[in-house]
Structure 1
Amino acid sequence: MSTPIQWTVPLDHPAFAGHFPDIAILPGVVLLDLALQLITDACHLTLQNCTINSVKFLHPTLPGDVLSIVYHQLDNGTIRFDISTPAHKAVSGSVMINSNA
Structure 2
Amino acid sequence: MQFAIPHDHPSLPGHFPGRPVVPGVVVLDRVIEAIEARHGPLGAMRLPQVKFVQPLLPGEVADIAIEPGAPEGGADRWRFCVTRDGAPIAAGEVVRA
Q: TM-score normalised by the shorter chain: which range applies? A: 0.7 to 0.9
Q: CA contact under 8 A between 1:40 and 1:47: conserved in structure 2?
A: no
Q: CA contact under 8 A between 1:24 and 1:62: conserved in structure 2?
A: yes
- Normalising by structure 1, report the TM-score: 0.82
What is the aligned counterpart of 2:17 among 15, 18, 21? 21
- Normalising by structure 2, report the TM-score: 0.85
How much does 1:61 deviate?
Answer: 0.5
How much does 1:33 deviate?
Answer: 1.2
How much does 1:63 deviate?
Answer: 1.1
Q: Which amino acid aligns with 2:12?
A: F
1:28-85 Cα offsets, whole Å, 9 max, x none, are 111111111221231113232x221111011000011101011000232320001111
Structure-1 residue corresponding to 2:43? 47
Say which structure is richer in helix: 1
In 2, the alpha carbon distance for the partners of 1:68 and 1:41 equals 15
CA RMSD of aligned residues (A): 1.4
How much does 1:13 deviate?
Answer: 1.3
The answer for unaligned runs of 5 or more in structure 1 is: none
How much does 1:87 deviate?
Answer: 5.0
Structure-2 residue corresponding to 1:94? 93
Aligned residues: 93
Q: CA contact under 8 A between 1:6 and 1:66: conserved in structure 2?
A: yes
1:33 has 2:32 as partner: no
What is the aligned counterpart of 2:64 among 41, 60, 69? 69
